[in-house]
Amino acid sequence: MQLSLTTKTMFIPFIMAGDPHPDITVELALALQEAGADILELGVPYSDPLADGPIIQRATSRALKHKMNLPKAIELVPVLRKKGVKIPIILFTYYNPVLQLGEEFFFTLVKENGVDGVLIPDLPFEESGPIRKLSAEAGVACISLVAPTSKQRIEKIASSAQGFLYCVSSLGVTGVRDTLPDELESFLMEVKQYSRVPVAVGFGISTSEQVSMLKNYSDGIIIGSALVQKMEQLGDRLLHEETKQEALNEFQRYAQMLTAPLGKRCTP
Amino acid sequence: MMYKEPNENGRFGEFGGKFVPETLMLPLEEIERELEKAMADPTFRTEYMDSLQEYSGRPTSLTFVKNLTEKFNGAKIYLKREDLNHTGAHKINNAIGQVLLAKRMGKKKLIAETGAGQHGVAAATVAARFGMECIVFMGEEDIKRQELNVFRMKLLGAEVVPVFSGNRTLKDATNEAIRYWVQHCDDHFYMIGSVVGPHPYPKMVREFQRIIGDEAKQQFLEREGKLPEVVVACVGGGSNAIGTFYPFLDDEVALIGVEAAGKGTNTPYHAATITKGTKGVIHGSLTYLLQDEYGQILEPYSISAGLDYPGVGPEHAYLASIGRVQYESVTDEEALHAFQLLAREEGIIPAIESAHALAHTFKLVPHLPKDSAVLVCLSGRGDKDVQAIMNREKGGADIAAISND
């Protein structure tokens, strides 16, 4: 995945494959693309999501009830393409499902199905050697994370980053937060010094004010829990034929409202 | 010593490692560095040994169980009495070690996860003793099973946080403890209770539990003038087993770890991770675990809350893979029978966890020569289990079964 550094800050939404139902994932992705998403992060449900807070944990449970799993999530990507999703798609999966599928087979599937990148939140730099090698061979970006605790680790992680570099905004798991740490700005500036790829920020971002503040310091803004929470609120309306379109419109408007500070969006 | 695992990356052979979110990498590096310094510091070593002696009552006894040895008419049975520790189990050895390390690192707040509540009690105890705050994560199901220990932790001044995710047992409590740690790693110390988790935890907990085997080896040599032929310990995460086995790894001694077979390893209701599991990552470590074909971790089952864990320490996975330790499993019923037998014949009420090790030992000894000996780690006492077993005997609901059915 080649992303060029532009002045435009990217909108990178996260949704969980199969939540609230595998059929609706495609339409949610399209709504996000309409709302101006630049990259889609597609989550794969895992029984023990250590980096996720309660909102994504609930999304995981719903998706698991519909028997969503890693190969099915990968196979969803060509379906998304066929239905008109054109933006790059990053697969967000924990490491154990990848191990069970087999690392080489995982990248075979990823490549075959046109996945642009993978992000494994519990695979730190030191353990990621074999995965990086395979992702490079497959021509798929392996997204790295840096956290506020990374400090002296930032340089080595940033210098080998592919696709974009994911900055974890604050200590903790995914979720919606009212406030972000004061040091976030200087943390992002430091990361940008070392990074050759765009620097995106995520974890906790849930208001347009936060988006407005962060757009000056980052090349991309990742929003997950806030969108999943909105989807939870829409609930059954997303599942019934007669209310679905209206609910999807509301979901899209919410995404547009959150990201309004990023400027007028146009469909790619 | 010939045995040198783990390597500098925290790998026991291929097992172990650090599979955690980036946020935790620096805290783990700090613990690793401070642990190394502490272990090389004679003052730390002295403080640890003094606390074990003066506060926990070590060394614990080595007890020859004469009545049962005669009954089975085979190998002599010796028990390493970790039940005689302060707080009633081996968990305190590790809690003392880690709290001293936390203190050295200037941390004032402890996080712990607990299953049966023994590690939670140990953590709450040392927190009280060393003037620290303590927050313990415990599955809601285990809270029901181990009411007494929950109250003990509260008496000791700890905050007990119920965990409602998953099967509401040890795995879920550990997930939640790790999530809390990610959020609070700047000023909290995470005190893991077993030889599980990311490097350096499996190594650190081994270092603080090897006192069991070190003492037992010396005591046994004094009593019998030789080493035991067989050493047996129960394995959930596996800290009492690693602590007992480690000093014997280079000796010609058979080592047997006993897992919980629950309602049988041919049913879905067991926690026999090495016997039935496959390779995967759980709680930051590559090891054997119970999982489905898509890598979703399965809910384990055992009557014993302390063995009810879908993973196992990575060092056990390694020792199993090289064939140095043999892993067996015993069912709930067999463990309950052993529990009663030790109580009636020897006047010792074991923890239901330790009763698993006893049950296998009782199967084994009749087939061994009379001049041989089996050393069993009696990892804890059974006071905490009495209520559940009483209910069961009264014909009440099977407490353990509620969690899975």
Q: What is the per-residue pLDDT across B326-365, written as a single tens digit (0 to 9) for each?
A: 999 999 999 999 999 999 999 999 999 999 999 999 999 9
Helix axes B42-54, B91-104, angle to 10 degrees: 140
Contacts of A95 in chain B (CB under 8 A): 19, 281
DSSP B89: B
Q: Which of A168, A171, A173 sits opposite B186 (nearest CB)?
A: A171
C-alpha distance from B280 to closest chain A C-alpha (Å): 6
Q: Which of B27, B178, B291 sits opposite A149 (nearest CB)?
A: B27
Q: Whole-angstrom Cα distance, residue A119 to residue A106?
A: 13
Residues of A forming the active site = 41, 52
- Tokens linked to B321: 């893979």
Close Cβ partners of B189 (under 8 Å, ≥ 6 residues apart): B98, B101, B102, B105, B107, B109, B110, B111
> Which of A203-207, B90-94, B184-188, B386-390 has the least mean pLDDT?
B386-390
Q: Say what the pLDDT of residue B397 is.
A: 47
What are phi and psi for residue B93, nearest 5 degrees?
-55, -50
Q: Which of A51, A64, A98 sits opposite B21 (nearest CB)?
A: A51
Q: Say what the pLDDT of residue A267 is.
A: 45
The yes-or-no verdict on residue B404 having pLDDT over 50 is: no
Cβ atoms of B219 and B362 closer than 8 Å: no
**Residues B126-141: what's their mean pLDDT?**
97
Please answer yes or no on whether A168 and B296 come within 8 Å at the CB atom: no
Q: At CB < 8 Å, which residues of chain B contact A?
A: 9, 17-27, 165-166, 171, 175, 178-179, 182-186, 278-284, 291, 293-297
Q: Mutating which of A92, A119, A122 best tests the B interface, going by the most B Cβ atoms within 10 A? A: A122
Q: Say what the pLDDT of residue A259 is.
A: 97
Question: Prior bond to A268 cis, omega within 30?
Answer: no
Cβ atoms of A203 and A174 closer than 8 Å: yes
Close Cβ partners of A128 (under 8 Å, ≥ 6 residues apart): A120, A142, A144
Please answer yes or no on whether B18 and A127 come within 8 Å at the CB atom: yes
ipTM here: 0.94
pLDDT class of B398 with cuts at 50, 70, 90: very low
Cβ atoms of A20 and A62 closer than 8 Å: yes
Q: Say what the pLDDT of residue B104 is.
A: 97
DSSP H or E segment with residue B153: helix B147-155
Model confidence pLDDT, tens digit, residues B255-290: 999 999 999 999 999 999 999 999 999 999 999 999
Strand-pair partners of A84: none
Residues of B forming the active site = 91, 113, 379
Contacts of A70 in chain B (CB under 8 A): 294-295
- Search chain B and give the residue with CA nearest A45: B296
Q: Say what the pLDDT of residue A2 is.
A: 64
Q: Say what the pLDDT of residue B145 is.
A: 81
Q: Whole-angstrom Cα distance, residue B87 to residue B129?
A: 13
- Tokens linked to A11: 């909108």
Average pLDDT over chain B reads: 95
Q: Mutating which of A61, A100, A174 best tests the B interface, going by the most B Cβ atoms within 10 A? A: A100
Q: What angle do CA B254, B262, B204 make, to 5 degrees?
A: 55
Q: Give this prediction's pTM.
A: 0.95
From residue B398, give the alpha-carbon distance in Å to each of B390, B391, B402.
Answer: 10, 8, 7
**Residues B202-228: what's their mean pLDDT?**
98
Model confidence pLDDT, tens digit, residues B141-175: 899 888 889 999 999 999 999 999 888 989 999 99
Close Cβ partners of B385 (under 8 Å, ≥ 6 residues apart): B304, B339, B351, B352
3-class DSSP state of B16: strand
**Residues B89-114: what's their mean pLDDT?**
98
Question: Prior bond to A20 cis, omega within 30?
Answer: yes
Query: Could you identify the residue written with the tokens 């085979």?
Result: B74
From residue B48, give the alpha-carbon distance in Å to each of A26, A140, B101, B118, B217.
Answer: 58, 50, 10, 20, 20
**Residues B34-50: what's their mean pLDDT?**
98
Q: Which residues of A77-90 are buried (b: 16+ CB within 10 A; e: fewer)?
A: beebeeeebebbbb
Close Cβ partners of A65 (under 8 Å, ≥ 6 residues apart): none
Q: Whole-angstrom Cα distance, residue B295 to residue B386?
A: 37
Q: Whole-angstrom Cα distance, residue B315 to residue B16?
A: 7
Q: Whole-angstrom Cα distance, residue B221 to residue A208?
A: 71
Model confidence pLDDT, tens digit, residues B43-101: 999 999 999 999 999 999 999 999 999 999 999 999 999 999 999 999 999 999 999 99
Q: Say what the pLDDT of residue A249 is.
A: 97
Q: Say what the pLDDT of residue A264 is.
A: 54
Cβ atoms of A195 and A165 closer than 8 Å: yes
Model confidence pLDDT, tens digit, residues B293-336: 999 999 999 999 889 999 999 999 999 999 999 999 999 999 99
Cite the DSSP H helix spans in B2-109.
25-39, 42-54, 66-72, 91-104
Question: Prior bond to B6 cis, omega within 30?
Answer: yes
Q: Say what the pLDDT of residue A4 is.
A: 56
- pLDDT tens by residue, chain A, 268 residues: 666 556 689 999 999 999 999 989 999 999 999 999 999 999 999 999 999 999 999 999 999 999 999 999 999 999 999 999 999 999 999 999 999 999 999 999 999 999 999 999 999 999 999 999 999 999 999 999 999 999 999 999 999 899 999 999 999 999 999 999 999 999 999 999 999 999 999 999 999 999 999 999 999 999 999 999 999 999 999 999 999 999 999 999 999 999 999 985 554 4
Supply the DSSP string of A135-175, one letter for each residue.
HHHHT-EEEEEE-TT-GGGHHHHHHT--S-EEEE-SSS-SS
Q: In what order do the strands lie in the sheet with B109-114?
A: B159-163, B133-139, B109-114, B188-191
Q: Which residues of A133-170 are buried (b: 16+ CB within 10 A; e: fewer)?
A: ebbeebebbbbbbbbbbbeebbbebbeebbbbbbbbbb
Work out the percent of chain B whose per-residue pLDDT is above 90: 90
Within 10 Å of residue B376's Cβ, how many Cβ atoms?
31
Close Cβ partners of B56 (under 8 Å, ≥ 6 residues apart): B85, B86, B87, B92, B93, B96
Strand-pair partners of B367: none
Q: Say what the pLDDT of residue B402 is.
A: 35
Q: Which of B17, B171, B294 sits opposite A127 (nearest CB)?
A: B17
